[in-house]
């Protein structure tokens, strides 16, 4: 008998937690997993008591199925099937299976971190098959999935009214009455997955900026983990208030079995699943300078070359770091301001990329709404995103966040500190690739005339690539026989 509001395939932790979240909001959910024992264990476990009662009372709203046919037959029409399996081939395999059993008008929702060109392709394929596809970003990790993630759906617009109620109810909420859902329709085809990819790229940038701030405070100022805890605690009470600053603060409190700080025992090699890299790759395709995120990806790559770095550290020298003699409090505040200004450049770049992608694919993205989706539930959630939303509400066509009055003033205030931090790090030989990329972007963006005139001359010299002139209309190209004209 058709009974369930929605079905979910893929019962790893994210899938399980989303199902419990849906059931906690009164929805009836059918579940299916390729390994039937996983389905049975999950559904059976719901009948037991959980310590914090997160799944209390959900057992009668969640039912497991052992075949895709039974699973699909158990769903109300139009059937809504959410897939939470590994991105790539596994998503295609499940879609193929579903194509054989779903009916025209049914809806497939991919909630994984899928690569947006895959989502564009699936959207088109399924449209031809009469099915409606949604590719949605889901952010917030396991806890978010259970208690309220940020949800970024895109795809077939006709499908949205059928999932809106479920998704908005299970999503994180923000606002003074805690009633604004961090879930809104993003746009057609792969737009939702694209916005999630940009979220992840920005996540890479934020994380690396925090790591660089930590590295400076630890090495230039010699702060202990207890002092770092205090610094991050104070920062989290101001304009930097965010989930990532909060968890960083807490990390400095965690001790290993021997009583020493765990953070110092963790190997300094960062891993990555690829979403930040995808954003950088596409930034290059679009020709937009998303320099912070790209540097953040490279910083992970360099960190991963641990053995090579250890070998090089025995050979290559740099300045020795003297004991800090200046005003510690002032310098800590300089780092805070450098972090804030750099973070702003990162978001400014992220939004420029979103605008370029929207143009490329014909998506109508609403930048203010995107800030709202990220305001709660997701990994980059922060107070700052409220200010970004306000900037786009004031001017939906804002060309660059740095041009908003509020942010322009904020960067002007932070600028002396920002420059002091980057130059101090450079003088001490402390690597700050993303802090410096941010400052270079700011300085490049505000520069009315860059040295690209010389670059164009070089191109024309060796390759007759032509150039535009300052005294001729744009689009009119000149060439010079540089070899003949030169005086050497
Ligand atoms: C989220 C996260 C998540 C991501 C992890 C790991 O929004 O919940 O972005 O989707 O997969 O953070 O990413 P990396 O392994 O690339 O660091």
CB-CB contact of 139 with 152 (8 Å): yes
* C-beta 139 within 6 A of ligand 1: yes
* C-beta 203 within 6 A of ligand 1: yes
Cα(168)–Cα(172) distance, integer angstroms: 8
63, 184, 203, 343: which one is catalytic? 203
Exposed / middle / buried, residue 467 (Cβ in 10 Å: 0-12, 13-18, 19+) = middle
The pair of three-digit structure tokens given for residue 381, joined into one six-digit string: 């959630």
Return the residue whose CA atom lies nearest to atom 1 of ligand 1.
139
pLDDT reported for residue 57 = 83
10-residue averages of pLDDT along the chain (488 residues): 89 97 97 98 89 81 97 97 97 97 98 97 97 98 96 98 98 96 97 98 98 98 98 98 98 98 98 97 98 98 98 97 96 98 98 98 97 97 96 98 98 98 98 98 98 98 98 98 96
| Nearest Cα to Cα of residue 34 among 10, 59, 64, 62 | 10
Q: For residue 227, count other CB atoms closer than 10 A to its CB.
A: 16
Cα(92)–Cα(89) distance, integer angstroms: 5
pLDDT reported for residue 103 = 97
Residue 364 bears catalytic tag: no
pTM listed for this prediction? 0.97
Cα(277)–Cα(300) distance, integer angstroms: 10
Specify the long-range contacts of residues 321-330, CB closer than 8 Å, at least 24 apart: 321/219, 321/220, 321/428, 321/429, 321/430, 323/222, 324/220, 324/221, 324/222, 328/221
Instruction: For residue 334, give every residue at least 6 positions away whose Cβ sits within 8 Å of its Cβ, in sequence order, or none.
Output: 417, 418, 420, 421
DSSP annotation of 37 = H
Return the residue whose CA atom lies nearest to atom 17 of ligand 1.
272
Return the residue whose CA atom lies nearest to atom 2 of ligand 1.
139
The pair of three-digit structure tokens given for residue 354, joined into one six-digit string: 């979103």
Q: What angle do the packed helices 225-235 and 328-361 form, to 10 degrees?
A: 60
Sign, CA dihedral 291-346-406-341, equals: negative
Report which ligand 1 atom has the smallest distance to the Cα of 274.
16
Report which ligand 1 atom has the smallest distance to the Cα of 276.
16
DSSP annotation of 173 = E
Cα(171)–Cα(145) distance, integer angstroms: 8
* C-beta 272 within 6 A of ligand 1: yes
Q: What angle do the packed helices 275-286 and 328-361 form, to 10 degrees?
A: 60
Rounded to an integer, what is the distance from CA 425 to the centroid of its chain? 27
Instruction: Tell me how far CA of residue 305 lies from CA of 268, 271, 280, 360, 464, in angstroms.
Output: 10, 11, 20, 36, 41
pLDDT reported for residue 48 = 87
pLDDT reported for residue 50 = 72
pLDDT reported for residue 2 = 63
Residue 485 CA neighbour count, 13 Å, CB half: 7
Report which ligand 1 atom has the smallest distance to the Cα of 196.
7
CB-CB contact of 401 with 344 (8 Å): yes
Cα(196)–Cα(194) distance, integer angstroms: 5
Cα(183)–Cα(139) distance, integer angstroms: 11
DSSP annotation of 263 = G
* C-beta 206 within 6 A of ligand 1: no
Cα(176)–Cα(150) distance, integer angstroms: 18
The pair of three-digit structure tokens given for residue 180, joined into one six-digit string: 């604004």
Report which ligand 1 atom has the smallest distance to the Cα of 144.
8
196, 277, 343, 389: which one is catalytic? 196
Residue 196 bears catalytic tag: yes
The pair of three-digit structure tokens given for residue 170, joined into one six-digit string: 């299970």
Centre of ligand 1 from the C-alpha of residue 197, in Å: 10
Q: What is the pLDDT of residues 252-267, one digit of tens each?
A: 999 999 999 999 999 9
The pair of three-digit structure tokens given for residue 212, joined into one six-digit string: 């660089």
Residue 380 CA neighbour count, 13 Å, CB half: 31
CB-CB contact of 85 with 14 (8 Å): no
Secondary structure class of 137 (helix, strand, coil): strand
pLDDT reported for residue 80 = 98
CB-CB contact of 270 with 304 (8 Å): yes
Centre of ligand 1 from the C-alpha of residue 114, in Å: 12
Q: Which helix or strand (DSSP H or E) is residue 215 part of?
A: helix 191-219
Sign, CA dihedral 423-425-431-432, equals: negative
Report which ligand 1 atom has the smallest distance to the Cα of 204.
17
Q: For residue 87, count other CB atoms closer than 10 A to its CB.
A: 17
Centre of ligand 1 from the C-alpha of residue 452, in Å: 37
Q: Which of 87, 113, 196, 298 has the most ligand 1 atoms within 8 A of CB, as the residue to mutate?
A: 113
């Amino acid at each position: 008998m058709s009974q369930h509001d929605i079905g979910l395939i893929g019962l790893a932790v994210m899938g399980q937690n989303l199902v419990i979240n849906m059931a906690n909001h009164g929805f009836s959910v059918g579940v299916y997993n390729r390994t039937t024992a996983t389905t049975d264990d999950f559904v059976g476990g719901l009948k037991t008591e959980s310590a914090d009662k997160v799944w209390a009372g959900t057992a009668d709203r969640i039912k497991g199925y052992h075949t895709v046919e039974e699973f699909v037959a158990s769903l109300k029409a139009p059937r809504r099937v959410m897939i939470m399996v590994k991105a790539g081939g596994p998503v295609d395999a499940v879609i193929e299976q579903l194509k054989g059993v779903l009916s025209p008008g049914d809806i497939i929702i991919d909630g994984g971190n899928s690569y947006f060109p895959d989502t564009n392709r699936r959207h088109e394929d399924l449209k031809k098959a009469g099915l409606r596809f949604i590719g949605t970003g889901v952010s917030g990790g396991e806890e978010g999935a259970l208690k309220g993630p940020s949800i970024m759906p895109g795809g077939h617009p006709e499908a949205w009214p059928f999932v809106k109620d479920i998704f908005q109810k299970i999503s994180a909420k923000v606002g003074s009455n805690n009633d604004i859902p961090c879930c809104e329709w993003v746009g057609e085809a792969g737009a939702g997955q694209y916005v999630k990819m940009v979220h992840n790229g920005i996540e890479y940038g934020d994380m690396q900026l925090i790591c660089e701030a930590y590295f400076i405070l630890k090495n230039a100022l010699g702060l202990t983990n207890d002092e770092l805890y205090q610094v991050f605690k104070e920062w989290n009470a101001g304009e930097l208030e965010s989930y990532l600053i909060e968890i960083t603060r807490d990390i400095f409190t965690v001790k290993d079995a021997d009583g020493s700080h765990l953070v110092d025992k963790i190997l300094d090699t960062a891993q990555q699943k690829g979403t930040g890299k995808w954003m950088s790759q596409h930034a290059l395709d679009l020709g937009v300078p998303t320099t912070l995120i790209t540097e953040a990806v490279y910083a992970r790559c360099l960190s991963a070359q641990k053995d090579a770095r250890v070998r090089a550290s025995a050979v290559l020298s740099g300045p020795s770091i003297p004991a800090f003699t200046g005003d510690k409090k002032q310098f800590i505040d300089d780092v805070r301001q450098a972090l804030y200004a750099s973070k702003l450049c990162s978001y400014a770049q992220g939004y420029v990329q979103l605008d370029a992608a929207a143009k490329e694919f014909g998506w109508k993205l609403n930048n203010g709404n995107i800030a709202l989706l990220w305001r709660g539930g997701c990994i980059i959630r922060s107070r700052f995103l409220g200010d970004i939303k306000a900037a786009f509400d004031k001017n939906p066509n804002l060309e660059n966040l740095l041009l908003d009055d509020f942010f322009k003033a904020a960067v002007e205030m932070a600028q002396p500190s920002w420059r002091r931090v980057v130059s101090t790090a450079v003088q001490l030989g402390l690597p700050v690739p993303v802090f410096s990329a941010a400052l270079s972007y700011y300085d490049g963006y505000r520069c009315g005339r860059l040295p690209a005139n010389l670059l164009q001359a070089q191109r024309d010299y060796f390759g007759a690539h032509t150039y535009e002139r300052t005294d001729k209309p744009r689009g009119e190209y000149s060439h010079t026989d540089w070899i003949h004209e030169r005086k050497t």
